[in-house]
Amino acid sequence: IKQHEASVHVSDFMKTTAALTAGLERIPDQLGYLVISEDGVLASAGELENDEQTAAVMMQMVRTASRFKLPGSAEPPFKRMSVTLEDFVYMVTVSGQKVFVVKRQNNQQEPIST
């Protein structure tokens, strides 16, 4: 019975992980993703697979940005945040107690000034 209980728990974990990452797999130009909670990385794939350092940096950025509340507002200060670098962009979404980070190819071109 113990082995059956263990396989049920693993199965439940896999279903939960699949539910967390279902939409992330289909994002165009995504290079990888992280699903993070206060306890650590819940799921990861692609270039961000097992990337604890990026997870820690993104969580710190979310914590810092969360401190900037508008006076009198009960709403969270933000739901989405983008970190744009030359070749790629990190798209960060906060939902419930989880932070979803997607690394995407940066296809935006700089405006050409004449």
Domains of the chain: 2-105 (3.30.450.30)
Q: Consecutive 10-residue runs of the chain (114 residues): their mean pLDDT?
A: 45 56 77 93 94 95 83 75 92 90 83 60
Q: Which is it for strands 98-105 and 30-37: parallel, antiparallel or unpaired?
A: antiparallel
Give the pTM.
0.74
The answer to whether residues 30 and 44 touch, using CB atoms and an 8 Å cutoff, is no
The answer to whether residues 79 and 100 touch, using CB atoms and an 8 Å cutoff, is no
Q: Which DSSP symbol is given to 25?
A: G
pLDDT at 41: 94
